[in-house]
Amino acid sequence: MHSFGYRPGEGEVVIDFQLQNASVESSIFRQSTPTSKLTKWYDVKNTFSNLFTTLQYGLDDKTRIGLKLENVVSSNSKNSYSTEAKAAGNNDESSSSKGSKEPAVFIEGTFKETNDLRVNAFLSYSPKMDKSSDSNVLSGGSEGKLSFELIKAFEKTEFVFGANYTAKGIRYYEEGSSRSETRDGNMFGLNIGLNFRTSKDSSIVITVNREMYDFSTTKYEANSNPTEVDSYSGTFYIVGYQFSMAEDLLFQVGYVGYSSEEVVARSGTQTIIVDPYTGGGVSFGMKVGF
């Protein structure tokens, strides 16, 4: 179970749980016209706790099917407005949410396997369940994902390299009389990882994921000016320690980190800029096999 390449065999089941508790802070700037001054509008702090569950079943020794679930245990956001923003009539505000996001079904196959090399391909689909609103945590749309993964093993060390492409459907939002639809650009991602065995029953794991998002456009029913967001990139990483209590039971603990480049959005003559940010927290995981 320590290996990046571990997968359930024919008729076997593996369930992977991961709880991430983290916080991210950023600053938002506003420019009302192309010639006006760029003004800090507010600071935002997000704290969240998300539970990820992955269930895999081995159809045979080379093919698995499964289900991915994400539950937002809690998510809290606080906006602290600047003096200029408060003078324009804005007040500090907080919001919270929880619930389940859209599930994803997947199939994964192993196309090459030797004593020290494994190549996997992965295809998943997440259907639209309902429109997004302030009372749920749904994205409001569907998405499909295709990824490839190469795992190379040495005596005490494993390396993984992967690439993935995500195609997103239109996302719909509705809250009261407010309605919008967002056409996201697609996302391309790269990931690398290192797994270093410290003993028979433990190892240190480092994984880094780089995600590059294409532009997106949101159109509002009550506003003729759409909001266009430029392409940007973000990074997600985990540095952790994992140890097994039994042959089919593994525990993980680590630090999870997030970072993002500057994000630029435009609507009419107005420009909104989200400063580059970093954040992080702790991650706890458990993997059990049957």
Please report whether residue 24 resides in a domain.
yes
Please report whether residue 211 resides in a domain.
yes
Please report whether residue 199 resides in a domain.
yes
Please report whether residue 267 resides in a domain.
yes
Q: How confident is the model at residue 111 (pLDDT cuts 50, 70, 90)?
A: very high
Tens digit of each residue's pLDDT (9 = 90 or more) over 9-56: 999 999 999 999 999 999 999 999 988 999 999 999 999 999 999 999
User: Which residue range is the domain that position 260 belongs to?
Assistant: 13-289
Please report whether residue 143 resides in a domain.
yes
Please report whether residue 5 resides in a domain.
no
Please report whether residue 7 resides in a domain.
no
The pLDDT of residue 34: 87
Distant-in-sequence, close-in-space partners of 120: CB < 8 Å, separation ≥ 6: 5, 7, 108, 109, 110, 111, 148, 149, 151
| Percent of the chain scoring above 70 in pLDDT | 100
Give the residue among 47, 53, 57 at the shortest CA–CA distance from 21: 47
Please report whether residue 235 resides in a domain.
yes
Number of domains within the chain:
1
Q: How confident is the model at residue 224 (pLDDT cuts 50, 70, 90)?
A: confident
Compute CA distances 127 → 5, 134, 141, 142, whole Å. Answer: 28, 20, 7, 5
CATH, residue 59 = 2.40.160.40
The pTM is what? 0.93
